[in-house]
Structure 1
Amino acid sequence: MALTINNISVAFGDKTILNKLSLPAITAGEMVAIIGKNGAGKSTLLRHITQYLNQYSQQILLHNKPLSLDNIGYLPQDHRISATITVVELLITTLNMGSHSLFAKANSAEKSLLLLQQMGILHLANKICTELSGGESQMVGLAQAVVNQPKVLILDEPTSALDMHNQMKLLDFVKLYAQQNQACVLMVIHDLNLAIQYSTKVAALHQGQLFDYGAPITTITPALIAAVFDVDAHVAIIDERPIVVVKSSGTIESISA
């Protein structure tokens, strides 16, 4: 099974955001990190995959068939939940869209609690969604995205509201989910070191086009960082893993008092 994205173009007025963008096939179990400067088209790509599928029925394919919303789990950027129900009720509702079976609802409660336990957030089960912190909303949003076991997981800056511990907890779960469910994961991420640690492939976008694609250990180089981010950086090898150390953006010369 593979997810293919071919020839996606998006423009707002006279401004081109994505220019005939294609990605190599994303195979089952892979996590692809999309990196690039603000405005490179990263979030636009994810939004068009999740919201405008009908326009791209022959360009976005899963196993050579048009990708359907039923196969997508989506965690948007800065996710907040406005429902005044508990977290477990939210997951039960998500599982039972269109179902009126009492047995299904009882089974859904068990599935929802098991998922929260697997994610390490069982303590949030009875918390009202509107009372969740930003980081808690992000974790619960991921639970909502995977509760129906989609084959394609789309994550837009999933770690942005999380501290270091919870960033790793979330990405550890996503990695395990992808492997166990043979799912394709496409995620926008700004932290290059997290991209190196967790992704199997990296897609670097620049000016609406694919600048480079490949394994993070060979793709994220000082030359790529300079070209894509306009930042001077060094890539050190620590415990056989590359670590990005930023030297300077070189854009601010002085600050007046």
Structure 2
Amino acid sequence: MTAVLRQGRTRGLIELCQSLTNAGDLFNHCFWPALMLVTLYFMRHHDYGGGFPLAGLVLPSILGMNAAMAMVTMSQTLTADREDGTLLRAKATPDGVGAYLVGKVVSVSGALLVDLAIFLVPALLLVPGLATASPAAWGTVLWVLALGLLATLPLGAVLGSVFGSARAQGLLTLPVLAVIAISGIFYPITALPGWVQGLAQVFPVYWLGLGMRSALLPAGAAAVEIGDSWRHLETTAVLGAWAVAGLLIAPAVLRRMARHESGSAVAARRDRALRRVA
């Protein structure tokens, strides 16, 4: 296990460094934070109650949303590696599949932290009134982020095993956007119908946003949340349940998928991709 973790960490750090020195990847790292900053800019003069700016509610929610979106990145990356034969090469080495999965967790998590830093530094200058001077606030950000990644990245690996091609990944985008739309990211969830609130609380996106809001917003902002509370216990329980389920299911699903990988399967997928391009 130690060797797998060490190999995976090294692999993940190499992939992260490559991502940060590639022009196309750097553009992707900057584009989404820039888009969210523009959103905050246009929200800065709108209040959601008590004179607190709507942008103040949205900023921490976006941090939680980005952590959830790492699930999509993980799924897309795994599917792409499956198509180009990277996963097949990992399968051919001792402990390769386990090291591959650890490496993806490291690289995707590292890329997420870079994206959050690019967004957060200018966003804090744009939105006043956040609890940024409190060490306890940043401690909450860290544990919510860590637990949220444990809840979402294994799920991304499972979804990446389900989709047979990068093209099919498009089927994942709309459901994820729908979950984000009902999860209180851009407006208080209490403004939505009760059944929608119940549905949103099944998924990690809502709890990631709630956890981040509890860290960075003043105590009075809880008045617009369900039960007028930050519900830290419930946040820990739901994200923890998703994390346990993902960590139990993802390695088994990935090993099963790797067993079915072969040179002929990779070649067939390449041929189909080339025919689509032609």
Give TM-score, length-normalised by structure 1.
0.24
Higher relative contact order (CA 8 A, sep 6+): 2
When normalised by structure 2's length, the TM-score is: 0.23
